[in-house]
Amino acid sequence: MKFLSIDCETTGLDPATDKMLEFAAVELDTNDPPGHGSTFRALIVPYAEDTYPPICLHVLAMHARTGLWTSLYAGMESISKRPHGTIITIKKDCRERSVICHADQLLNAFTCWLKDADINHNGKLNVGGKNTAFDIAFLKALDPQWDRMIRHRTIDPGVLWLNKYDTAVPCTAECMKRAGMTPNVEHSAMDDAMVVGSLIMSGLMRIKP
């Protein structure tokens, strides 16, 4: 089965008021080892007239540690010098697409990548991620069309790394511990999408045919 591991970084937890800052998707196939699929990353910058909502210190610190604020500022400077509505493509290779865009341009940039990378997934996209309901809610807040692109049933690595003693679905850090992986502290969208994709793939290996 082919699927996309997705992740987004935001200014907070409420898709009605908070803003998406970064989005990433990694293509995976349960018949192939990780690393064979295409990747997509978007830095999402505001228009000149836009403002960010108040951001808590935890989120400020996390995004400062990954360098996301610096990247967003540089991206905003670059896109402001271009015609209104221009999407900046940093890496055009369909196997490793990276763009700078405004929030209302994300769906178009993502759809172009799907077409260029020949990613069909037989209709709606199979999606995996940790707490994908959060990511999908932010995507749908940008454009309701996202709801038509993504299957409602998603893959959570926590379910694949459950054991009989758990009282709740394990978090990403616990899944990584059980998989023998070094805990991820970066929390960039691409890093998290890759980590979760690897956890899903390794978790599936635990399931006996």
CATH code of residue 136: 3.30.420.10
Report whether 196 contacts 157 (CB < 8 A).
yes
**Within a domain: residue 112?**
yes
Structure tokens at 14: 């409420």
pLDDT in tens, 47-95: 888 889 999 999 999 999 999 999 999 999 999 888 777 899 987 788 8
Report whether 170 contacts 178 (CB < 8 A).
yes
Identify the pLDDT of residue 81: 86
**Within a domain: residue 88?**
yes
Cα 133 → chain centroid: 12
Structure tokens at 68: 């996301």
pLDDT in tens, 120-174: 866 789 999 999 999 999 999 999 999 999 999 999 999 999 999 999 999 999 9
SS (H, E, C) the chain: CEEEEEEEEECCCCCCCCCEEEEEEEEEECCCCCCCCCEEEEEECCCCCCCCCCCCHHHHHHHHHHCHHHHHHHHHHHHHCCCCCCCEEEECCCCEEEEEECHHHHHHHHHHHHHHCCCCCCCCECEECCCHHHHHHHHHHHCCCHHHHECCCCECHHHHCCCCCCCCCCCHHHHHHHCCCCCCCCCCHHHHHHHHHHHHHHHHHCCCC
**Within a domain: residue 30?**
yes
What is the pTM for the complete model shown? 0.94
**Within a domain: residue 192?**
no
**Within a domain: residue 209?**
no
Report whether 112 contacts 94 (CB < 8 A).
no
**Within a domain: residue 169?**
no
Determine which of 14-18, 19-23, 132-136, 203-207 has the lowest per-residue pLDDT on average: 203-207
d(CA 34, CA 36): 6
Report whether 197 contacts 8 (CB < 8 A).
no
Work out how many domains the chain is built from and give that number.
Answer: 1
**Within a domain: residue 188?**
no
Instruction: Provide the domain limits for residue 70.
Output: 2-155
CA angle, corner 122, sides to 21 and 206, nearest 5? 75
**Within a domain: residue 48?**
yes
